[in-house]
């Protein structure tokens, strides 16, 4: 069995800890259904064992105190709402991360702002890393030697992993389970939890649907929703501006101010996101997906997909399957 420590401390994010425990527990449960022994020995750990209050009303019991003589195979350090306060209050956890990384531990992960414990320990210097979108600027400022990936869901550098906030721990844990137990078990766990299997680590933290909901301008927000449900149609600036009763020039200016990108970039990102989902679901040819997503041809899809994702649609589909 692999020992998995979910590391908490006063003020940890409860949803992250519970999500991490759940993913590994469901993997064990799925193995049990197949009459196989469990793989993960999961423990809630803390700098000092006992009842630990989270950032919400949830209080969890840490069964084990962190020890410099006993390191797990896998350790996931949870984030907190006030990570600067937590770093000051938990120097023991910073030191433990530093020592753990020097041991033959299989994996050490900073979840959400838990990344800051690894950063403070000097473990991420010269490496790519990510954290919750709201803390990336602080991570860059406080630790300039880290290659901060602003928008990634999770990033792995050998045995050091970091993830975005909150439910991104599910994506990271599913990736670990897939590595250990294969795609089928990971997919079963994802289905049990009713989550996507799987969002690749480099995928944006915000989907286009979620980003569009954050737009304050009512007409632009409604237009974004219309685009997202009609991606197979043509979306020239002139046609889009007409839908919101603006001149093309004013529309482009307002859209960029509200969304942070041009209408053309929004449409392209939305089409790529839809194409990616359809590739993950399987069952459709590249030609059909290109048509569904509004690309002029499968070659057009291939070029745009490669530019945005670094791989071709076919290569991406193979990655998801394998």
Domain boundary assignment for the chain: 2-193, 208-321
pLDDT, residue 205, reads 42
Q: What distances in angstroms separate CA 208 from CA 131, 178, 259, 270, one per listed residue?
A: 19, 26, 10, 6
Going through 80-145 in order, the beta strands assigned E by DSSP cover 107-110, 128-129
pLDDT, residue 247, reads 96
Looking at the predicted structure, is the pLDDT value of residue 319 above 70? no
Average pLDDT, the chain: 90
Backbone CA torsion sign across 209, 320, 184, 168 = negative
Rounded Cα–Cα distance for residues 315 and 241 (Å)? 36
Looking at the predicted structure, is the pLDDT value of residue 123 above 50? yes
For 2-193, CATH number out of 3.30.870.10, 3.30.470.20, 3.40.50.1100, 3.40.50.880 equals: 3.40.50.880
Higher confidence at residue 74 or residue 194? 74
Write out the CATH class of domain 208-321. mainly alpha
Tell me the three state secondary structure of residue 294. Answer: coil
Of the given ranges (7-11, 159-163, 222-226, 251-255), which has the lowest mean pLDDT? 222-226
Average pLDDT over residues 43-66: 97
Tell me the three state secondary structure of residue 65. Answer: strand
Of the given ranges (58-62, 211-215, 291-295), which has the lowest mean pLDDT? 211-215
């Amino acid at each position: 069995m692999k020992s998995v420590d979910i590391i908490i401390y006063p003020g940890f994010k409860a949803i992250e800890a519970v999500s991490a425990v759940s993913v590994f527990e469901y993997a064990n449960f799925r193995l049990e259904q197949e009459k196989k022994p469990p793989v993960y020995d999961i423990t809630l750990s803390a700098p000092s064992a006992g009842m630990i209050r989270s950032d919400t009303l949830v209080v969890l019991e840490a069964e084990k105190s962190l020890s410099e003589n006993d390191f797990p195979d896998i350790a996931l350090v949870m984030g907190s709402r006030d990570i600067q306060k937590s770093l000051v209050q938990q120097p023991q956890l910073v030191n433990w991360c530093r020592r753990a990384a020097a041991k033959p531990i299989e994996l050490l992960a900073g979840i959400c702002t838990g990344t800051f414990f690894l950063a403070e320990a000097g473990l991420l210097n010269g490496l790519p890393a990510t954290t919750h979108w709201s803390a990336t600027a602080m991570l860059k400022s406080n630790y300039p030697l880290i290659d901060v990936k602003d928008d990634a869901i999770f990033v792995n550098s050998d045995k050091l992993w970091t993830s975005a906030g909150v439910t991104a721990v599910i994506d990271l844990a599913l990736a670990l389970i897939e590595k250990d137990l294969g795609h089928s078990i990971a997919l079963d766990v994802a289905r049990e939890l009713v989550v996507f299997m799987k969002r690749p680590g480099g995928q944006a933290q915000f989907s286009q649907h979620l980003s569009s909901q954050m737009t304050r301008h009512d007409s632009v927000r409604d237009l974004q929703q219309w685009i997202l449900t009609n991606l197979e149609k043509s979306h020239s600036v002139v046609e889009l501006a007409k839908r919101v009763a603006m001149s093309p020039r004013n529309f482009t200016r307002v859209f960029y101010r509200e969304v942070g990108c041009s209408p053309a970039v929004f449409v392209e990102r939305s089409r790529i996101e839809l194409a990616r989902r359809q590739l993950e679901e399987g069952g459709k040819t590249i030609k059909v997906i290109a048509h569904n997503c509004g690309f002029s041809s499968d070659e057009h899809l291939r070029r745009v997909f490669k530019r945005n994702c670094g791989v071709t649609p076919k290569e991406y589909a193979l990655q998801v399957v394998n």
